[in-house]
Amino acid sequence: MNQLTADQIAIIHKVLIEKLGVKPAQITPEARLDTDLGSDSLAEVEIVMALEEQFGLTWPEDAEFTQKSVAQIYGAVALAIERRGNPLASASETRAV
């Protein structure tokens, strides 16, 4: 799997900061969206939409957002960029990140 660039990671961080209202220091690879960053299902939908827009990706409307940590988001975005397809199609691969 491709690694994200520093610019791509910065974009993900910006989306999380804007959508969750958290401080930059709170965003670590280990941070969980729900318990550490205060995300709920509506915020997760907004995160997906923002990531789609920023990276030109598409999550299917009926797909469940399974990325629960920042590291898993990195993995999903990297995989989606590599495939330019559905980042949730291979959730087991993104969990290993």
Q: Which amino acids are annotated catalytic?
A: 40
CA atoms within 13 A on the CB side of 95: 6
Burial of 96 (0-12, 13-18, 19+ CB in 10 A): exposed
Tell me how far CA of residue 87 lies from CA of 23, 25, 47, in angstroms: 26, 26, 14
Token digits for 60? Answer: 């299917």
Token digits for 40? Answer: 């709920």
